[in-house]
Structure 1
Amino acid sequence: MTTTSTNKIKLPVAAEELEFFAEEEPITIIPSFQLRHSANGMLSCVGGDYGPFRPNMPVEVPIWLALQLHKRGKCRIIPPQFLDIPRLQALITAEQSDLDSFQPVPFYFMEVCCLLFESAKDAFGDSFFQVRDLLQQFVNIRRHKIEDGLRMVAQASTIRLANLSAYEANLIRLNLQGSLNMFLKFSKVELMLENRAAAMTQPTPGF
């Protein structure tokens, strides 16, 4: 299977763009069909060859393809391991106990969750609402840590920003960009006032 890494995108970008990039992330499906026109059971697409597709045999494909097959009733999507309930509970505990850093998560974990929750919630069965609530709790913990870190920037304090997801990096970039723009605006005003004050203190020729 051929995939393209998109972790080096320029931020900030729109949420829709992040979801577009996340659609290339691999996910496991259980097909309910077989490609009879293909000798090796592979599906050739512009982005690469995927498969082989055989009934009840797990195969890894990009999320965009998994969602299309799921929409047509051609496969069952297996949620990523990081969305297992025990894994989410462990992540929440670790995130709460470590106030200075972030737990490692897939770069597009937020976008992947949104895509699955919107178009394939049945993949989670009866656990959907519990998974959703645990994920929301995990995201809130990380967001509060980000907000605390941004508030401490002006106090010469630091917070480790490794293991941020695309969504979180985008959020920080937007906040810092807004603060920087405001700082530059104030700096220009201060410079203008200083120049004006200096001009007013200069002696007038002829006096």
Structure 2
Amino acid sequence: MERKKLFGPQDENEFLAESELISIVPSFSLSKFELIHGTYGPFAAGTEIEVPLWLAVALKKAKKCRIKAPRWLKTEQLKQCIEKEKHQGPFQQLPFYYREIAKVLLCECEDDIADATSIRVLIKDIEEIRKNKMNANLKQIQPSSYVIGVKTFVTKTKMLSLYNFFFFFLSTILAQKHWSM
């Protein structure tokens, strides 16, 4: 499945996520090689190594490696995360770019991800739970209260989705404060 290109802030998130390290098992051997972003290797056939996501995807497309799914991107881990998200206050810890990493891996390397269909659903469930949790927290903000508590483990995507709301919210508060003086 080909990834759809968006042209906007989501593209930036995906681009930044592609610098995150991921484990691969190469099917080739090669000493270290240098690129603009750094030195990678040595690669030994059958030996796990960490490389940036963009390099893992490029090697996968060239049929030079198998990608090892991150521990957090497994069905059981995601189900546990969902249960904790439902029953505990703060967001559960996931990588900052978990959604973008999952998207890239599920689109480009689906055959290396066990139970990919279920994982897609679980990622969507986590997003929905987090969205509902954020909305509930926003409803608790009182107009006279100017301090907003930041929850831990808020991801870049969630921050981006709330940026316009917070900009409008804070602009309104500042305008009201200015006019009430």
TM tier, smaller: 0.7 to 0.9
- Paired position in structure 1 for 2:110: 121
Contact 2:99–2:123 (CA under 8 A) maintained in structure 1: no
Tell me the equivalent position of 1:9: none
Matched, 1:101 2:90: yes
Give, in whole Å, the separation in 2 of the partners of 1:28 and 1:93.
27
Tell me how far 1:85 sits from its aligned partner: 1.1
The answer (yes or no) to whether the contact 1:30–1:57 under 8 Å persists in 2 is yes
The answer to whether residue 6 in structure 2 is matched with residue 16 in structure 1 is: no
Q: Does 1:80 align with 2:70?
A: yes
Question: What is the alpha-carbon distance in structure 2 between the residues aligned to residue 16 and residue 23 of structure 1?
Answer: 11
1-side partners of 2:163 and 2:38: how far apart?
Answer: 33
Moved >4 Å (runs of 4+):
155-160, 182-188
2:130 aligned residue: 142
Cα distance in 2 for partners of 1:186, 1:71 equals 55
Work out whether residues 101 and 160 of structure 1, in 8 Å CA contact, stay in contact via their aligned partners in 2.
Answer: no
Q: TM (normalized to structure 2)?
A: 0.85
Task: Give the conservation status (yes or no) of the 8 Å contact 1:152–1:158.
Answer: no
Q: Which runs of 5+ in 1 are unaligned?
A: 1-12, 36-40, 195-207
Deviations 1:21-67 (A, max 9, x none): 111000000101122xxxxx112111111111111110000001001
Distance in 1, matches of 2:142 and 2:161, equals 18
Query: Post-superposition shift, 1:178?
Result: 2.6
Contact 2:96 2:154 in 1 (8 A): yes
Q: Kindly state the Cα deviation for residue 95 of structure 1 after the two structures are TM-superposed.
A: 0.8
Unpaired stretches in structure 2, ≥5 consecutive residues: 1-7
Residue in 1 aligned with 2:142?
154
| 1:167 partnered with 2:162 | no
1:57 pairs with one of 27, 36, 47: 47
Verify the 8 A CA contact 1:77 1:123 in the aligned structure 2. yes
Contact 2:141 2:148 in 1 (8 A): yes
RMSD (CA atoms)? 2.3
CA distance in 2, matches of 1:139, 1:55: 37
Separation in 2 of the partners of 1:80 and 1:133? 17
Q: Do the aligned residues in 2 keep the contact of 1:146 with 1:172 (CA within 8 Å)?
A: no
State the TM-score, normalizing by the size of structure 1.
Answer: 0.75
Higher Cα Rg, which structure: 1
Provide the aligned length of Structure 1 versus Structure 2: 172
SS state of the match for residue 104, structure 1? Answer: coil
Q: 2:27 aligns with which of 12, 26, 32?
A: 32
Q: Percent identity?
A: 29
